[in-house]
Amino acid sequence: MRILIAALAVAMLPGCASVGDTRSNPALLVLQSSKQPKQAAECIRDAWQNTTVLGASVGGVLQSSGERYSVLAPDVQAPLHLVDITPTPGGSRISYHFYRTWQSPIERVPDAVRACAG
């Protein structure tokens, strides 16, 4: 009986998704910006930290690798919102990914990305 209960408990544990899992979803937004990647990334991070959903901050964690930047909105299972910012000759390319492909993100989150791209 204990083995059955333990097996059911393990089967019910949600799988943790990674940044790669979120990134593998098609981008919901792909924007060109005249801002440099670091400037756009900091703007998105700050905007997400000031955006609330159900009374809690969306949050924003900035990561960088060379001239490429990512902004993540952490969640218990996976980063729900992810933006990749890469340099272009005229500024940057901004790609917004949402982890939950079966639902739409609350518009305040991609609206913040759009505002920072402008």
pLDDT digits (tens, 9 = 90+) for 41-76: 999 999 999 988 778 778 888 999 999 999 998 776
Any idea what the Cα angle at residue 117 is, between residues 101 and 39, rounded to 5°?
115
From the list 41, 47, 30, the residue with the least C-alpha distance to 93 is 30
pLDDT at 105: 65
The percent of residues in the chain predicted with pLDDT above 90, rounded, is: 47
- What is the DSSP-derived secondary structure letter of residue 102? T
> Which tokens is 111 given?
């609206």
Structure tokens at 46: 């700050």
27 three-class SS: coil
pTM: 0.78
